[in-house]
Chains A and B, each alone.
Chain A
Amino acid sequence: MTEKVIGKAPGLYKEFVRKGGSAPTATHYCPGCGHGILHKIIGEAMSDFDIQDRTIAISPVGCAVFAYYYFDCGNVQAAHGRAPAVATGISRARPDSVVISYQGDGDLASIGLNETLQAANRGEKIAVIFVNNTVYGMTGGQMAPTTLVGEKTSTSPDGRDPRFSGYPIHMCELIDTLKAPVFIERVSLSDIAHIRKARKAIRKAIEIQSQGKGYAFVEVLSNCPTNLKQNAEQTIEWINEHMEKEFPLGNFRDTSNDVDKIEKIYSDFSVESLDEIFELEKAHIFDTKSGGNYAARRLKVAGFGGQGVLSMGLLAAGAGCFAGHEVSWFPSYGPEQRGGTANCSVVISDDPIGSPVVQYPDILVAMNRPSLEKFAADAVSGATIFYDSSAGQFDPPDGITAVSVPTIEIARKAGSEKAINTAMLGVMIQSGVLGIGKTHFCEALKVHFAAKQKVVDINLRAIDLGSEWARENL
C-alpha cells in the first residue's frame, strides 16, 4: 500500500518569507480569490517541467504585485503596465531563461496595452498570464477596460455606460490579429471543471517557454470576492453566466507544434571582433600637433541636399586630420535638412576647438544661390567665398573675395556630375585658402569613399581638374 499526495503547492515557496508578518504561510489574497489558484497552477508547471532555476517571473502592479512572495524562481517586480517591456529586457538579455509575465486587466489592457500588444507582436519569448476579473482590485474596485457593460464599480456607480466609457476590451481577440504569437487561449477559474481546463492551457504556455518557442498568452477569467462582493457560488454564476458571454472561452491559436525553437544568440565581447566591426585596420594614427602655428580656419559649406556639401566638409576635416591639426565638423540636422538645404561647419585649428558651429566663416562655399544669400553676409572681412557659377551674378561685400566656379563643367570632365563637390574642393585646395596640401585631401578622400575605388578615381580626377581650373583662372 502506498500513499500519493496531491498538495504542497510545488513551485511555490514553503514559507512566504518575503511576506513575513504573523501569517507567513498564508497568501495576502482575499478568501476565494483566483490568484492563489493560478499561482498554484503556475508553480506546479514550473516544478513539473523542472524549470524553476531558469524561470524569472514578473510581478505586476495590482493585487499580484506580491507574486514574488510565492513563486520559487527568480523574481522581478515591474512598474504599472510595463511587465511586457521588463519581460522583453530579461528575455533578450538571458536567452536561456523562461520568462513569465503575470498581469491583471488594468495593468495589461489599460496602462500597459501598448507594451502588451507590441511584445506580442514581436513574438517575445514570454508567457503572459492575464487575469481578467473586470475590476481594479488593489486600488479599490474601479472600472477596468474589461468591466462589463452595466457592471457597477466604484467609478461606474450606475454601471458601465458604453456611451461614455466604451465597451469591454477583448484581449485574446486583439492579440489574435497579430502574426507572431504561438499560443492564445481564454480560460476561466469559475469552477473545478474550468480550473482543470485552465491548468492545461497554462501548462501549455509554460511548456512553450521551456522549449523556447515564442509568445504565449493565456487570459484567465476570474473573480474579485472583495470588490465585486462574490462568494464561491456567486463567483461561478458571475463568470459562467456573465463574463463568459462577453469573453467566450476557447483556444484561439496553438501553432506550437509547427514552429521551431527561436534561435538563441549569445554575445561576443572580444576586442578582436570589436576592432573588426569598426574596421580599425583601416583607422589611422594622426599626429596632432596641438599648439602649432597653423592659423585656424572656419569653413562653412552650404547648398542643396544631394550636392555633397556634408561630404565636402568631411573631406576638409579629414584632410585637416592628415595634416596634423585639430578638426571639428558640424552639420545642419533634422527638418532643416529635409527642407532641401544642407550646410556644415568645419573648424581646423592647432588649438583646442571651441564651438564647432561656424557662425562667421572665413571660407564660405555656397553651392547655390539661396546659400550664397543666406551666409555671405556672415563672412568675416578678408574671407573667401567660393560659389557655384549656377548661382549667377554676385557682388561680394567689401573686403571679401568671391570666386565663381563652374563645378558642373569640371565634374563632367572628371566623369560624373556628382563630383561637383570635389571639383569645388580642387579649386579651394589650389587657391591655398585652407593651408593644407593636396596630398592630405587625397588621403582623406580615399578614407571617405573607402569601399568604392571607381568613385575614388572620379573624385581624385575632379580634384585635379578643379585645381587645374584654379591655376588657369585665379
Chain B
Amino acid sequence: MATKLVKGNSAVIIGALYAGCDCYFGYPITPASEILQDASLYFPKLGRKFVQAESEEAAINMVYGAASTGHRVMAASSSPGMSLKTEGISYIAAAELPCVIVDIMRAGPGLGNIGAEQGDYSQMVKGGGHGNYKNIVLAPNSVQEMCDFTAKGFDLAFKYRIPVIILADGVLGQMIEPLVFPKKAIEPTIDESWAVGGTAETRGNMISTIMLDFDELEELNERLQKKYELIEKAEVDHEGYQLEDASIVLVSYGISSRIARTAVDIARKQGYKAGLFRPKTLWPFPKDELKKLAKGTDKEFISVEMSNGQMIEDIKLAIECSAPVDLVSRMGGNLITVEQITEKISRIANKRGLK
C-alpha cells in the first residue's frame, strides 16, 4: 500500500488518472487551482490531453465534446465557476454524456471569498441548470476519498451516462493527508453504441440536445426520471457513527462531517447520546436510511452544514417531519467549530430530556 502525503486537490488528479481519465479541461480558480496545475503536469506525461480553457463555459463545453467521443473526461472548478458551468452541465445531462466535475466549494454568494463553504449544495444536488435533470453528487471528507470518489465517479458516470459531481470544499482541496495510491489502473474502452468517435463504427451516431417535438422531449425527460429512480435505488451511500442508541443525530457531509464526528465523541464523553449520519452521496440522498433512523423513539436531528440550511430541506423530506431538525451552520468562509455543535447538542438534550 504505497502511501504519500498528498493534497486533496492533487488526490483528485491521482484518482482520475488511475481511473483512466483521458482529458482534462479547466480554468484557474482558487481554491481548486491545484487540480488544474496537477492536470497540466501529469496528463501530458501520459500522452493524455490537457487544455487550459479560456473560460469556465469553454471548459465545460470541451468536456461535452470530448465526452461525446466516449472517452473519460473531467473538469474541476469552484463555486462561481460552477455557476458558469451549469449551462454546460444541463446539456451534458440532456445528451446523457458521462463525465466527472469537481467542485471545490468556496464562500458565496457572488465573488464571495476563497474560504471553504458548502453553499453549492442546492445548486449541485438539485441539478443546477435549466431543465429536469440530476447529477450524481458524491461528497468526500478526506484526501483518500478525494481520490477514491473521483475514480468511483467515472464508474458511475459511465454506468448511467450521467454527469457526476464531486462536491468538496476549500479545506478538503487544500489539506494534506496520507493517501494510499490505487493499485490498479483502468484502461478504458469506447462504447461504440452511442459515442461519436470519428470511426467507421460510430459514423451513424449523433449527440444532440435539441428536440423540437414536444412528445419526443417529454419521452427523454421521462427516460431520465426512470434512470434517476434506478440510481436512487442502487447508488445511495452513507456512513453512520454512534447511531445505534443516538437520540441526537447530526447529519453532515464533507469537511463538516469530520468536525461533527469530533463533536459526537465529546458529547458522548459529556453523557449525551449523540451520533453522526454522514451521506456520502448527496444525490441520491440517503432518505430511506434517514427515515428508518427517525422511526420510533424520540429523536432530534441537527443538520451540520457550512450553508444556510440547504441540506435541512432534504433531511426534513426524508424523515417526513417525524422529528425536529435543527441547524448548526457557519457561512462566509468560517468553519463550524466543535464547540458550536456540542453546545447545540447539550442545549437540545437538556431542553428535551434526551440524555
Chain A residues proximal to chain B, CB less than 8 Å: 18, 52-56, 58-59, 65-66, 68, 72-79, 82, 85-94, 96-99, 114-115, 118, 122, 265-271, 273-275, 277-278, 280, 283-286, 288, 314, 317-318, 321, 326-331, 333-335, 351-357, 359
Q: Is the CB of A267 within 8 A of B210?
A: no
Known contacts A65-B210, A82-B88, A274-B46; is-contact A269 B178 (Cβ 8 Å) = no
16 contacts between A and B (CB under 8 A): A53-B203, A54-B198, A74-B198, A74-B203, A76-B65, A79-B64, A79-B88, A87-B65, A93-B71, A266-B47, A271-B183, A273-B46, A285-B1, A288-B178, A353-B177, A354-B261
Say yes or no: is B54 at the interface (Cβ < 8 Å to chain A): yes
Given A59-B208, A68-B208: A86 in contact with B185 (beta carbons within 8 A): no
Contact B198 A114, beta carbon cutoff 8 Å: no
Residues from chain A with Cβ under 8 Å of B259 in the complex = 354-355
- Which residue on chain B has the smallest CB distance to residue A330? B175
List of A residues within 8 angstroms of B263 by Cβ = 354
Contact call A88/B65, Cβ cutoff below 8 A: yes
- Of A115, A355, A359, the residue contacting B258 (CB under 8 A) is A355
The answer to whether B181 and A283 have CB atoms under 8 Å apart is yes
Query: Which listed residue (B69, B255, B337) contacts A93, Cβ 8 A?
Result: B69
Decide if the interface of chain A is mainly helix, strand, loop or mixed: mixed
Selected contact of A86 from candidates B20, B62, B175, B187, CB within 8 Å: B62
- CB-based contact A267/B65 at 8 Å: no
- By beta carbon, the residue of chain A nearest B337 is A359
Which among B45, B62, B209 has the highest number of chain A CB atoms within 10 Å? B62
Specify which chain B residues have a CB less than 8 angstroms from the CB of A52 in the assembled complex. 203
Taking a contact as CB atoms under 8 Å apart, the answer to whether B198 and A321 are in contact is: no
Binding site for A on B (CB under 8 A): 1-5, 14, 17-18, 20, 22-23, 25, 30-31, 42, 45-49, 51, 53-55, 57-59, 61-69, 71, 73, 87-88, 91, 114, 170-171, 174-178, 181, 183-188, 196-200, 202-203, 205-210, 255, 258-259, 261-263, 265, 335, 337-338
- B22, A78: Cβ atoms under 8 Å? no
Contact at A96–B198, with CB atoms within 8 Å? yes
- State whether B175 touches A328 (Cβ < 8 A): yes
* Nearest CB of chain B from residue A293's CB, rounded to whole Å: 16
Given contacts A93-B66, A333-B114, 5 further A-B contacts (CB under 8 A): A77-B208, A86-B62, A278-B4, A318-B5, A330-B175
Of A52, A73, A270, most buried by chain B (CB within 10 Å of CB) is A73
Q: Cβ of B197: which chain A residues have Cβ within 8 Å of it?
A: 74, 94, 97
Chain B residues positioned under 8 Å from A271 (CB to CB) = 18, 183-185
Q: Which of A77, A115, A268 contacts B207 (CB 8 A)?
A: A77
- A277→B14 CA distance, assembly (Å): 10
CB distance from B289 to the nearest CB of A (A): 21
Query: Are the CB atoms of A317 and B176 closer together than 8 Å?
Result: yes
A19 to chain B, nearest CB (A): 10
Q: Which residues of B are found within 8 Å of A314, using beta-carbon distances?
A: 5, 176
Closest B residue by C-beta to A52: B203
| A115 and B58 in contact, given A74-B202, A78-B64, A274-B18 (Cβ under 8 angstroms) | yes
Which residues from chain A contact B14 at a C-beta distance below 8 Å? 278
CA distance A78 to B45 in the complex (A): 30
Please, which residues of chain B bring their CB within 8 A of the CB of A321?
3, 5, 178
> A474 CB to closest chain B CB, in angstroms?
29
Q: Flag if B185 contacts A92 (CB, 8 Å).
A: no
Q: Which residues of chain A have C-beta atoms less than 8 A from B5's C-beta? A: 314, 317-318, 321, 327, 329
- Contact check, B65 vs A86: say whether CB atoms are below 8 A apart: yes
Interchain CB contact under 8 A, A330 and B62: no
Which A residue's beta carbon lies closest to that of B50? A92
- Determine the chain A residues whose CB is within 8 A of the CB of B58 once the complex forms: 82, 85, 88, 114-115, 118
The answer to whether A356 and B171 have CB atoms under 8 Å apart is yes
A345 to B49, CA, bound (A): 35
Chain A residues contacting B62 (CB-CB under 8 Å) are 85-86, 88-89, 92
> Given the complex, which residues of A lie within 8 Å of B206, measured CB to CB?
18, 68, 74-77
The 5 closest A-B pairs by CB, nearest first: A89-B65, A97-B198, A354-B262, A89-B66, A86-B65
| A residues near B174, Cβ cutoff 8 Å | 330-331, 333
Known: A329-B175, A354-B261, A355-B258. Contact between A284 and B4, CB under 8 A? Answer: yes
B65 touching A118, Cβ below 8 Å: no
In the bound complex, residues from chain A placing their C-beta under 8 Å from that of B199 are 53-54, 74
Tell me whether A77 and B210 are in contact (CB under 8 A): yes
Given the known inter-chain contacts A89-B68, A269-B187, please indicate yes or no for A79 contacting B87, CB distance below 8 A. yes
Q: Is the CB of B203 within 8 A of A89?
A: no
Q: How far in angstroms is the closest Cβ of chain B from A55?
A: 7
From residue B46, how far is it (CB to closest CB) to chain A in Å? 4
Measured CB to CB, the nearest residue on chain A to B186 is: A269
Closest to A265 in B: B47
User: Quick check: A286 and B3 within 8 Å, CB to CB?
Assistant: yes
Q: How far is the CA of A76 from the CA of B68 in the complex (A)?
A: 7
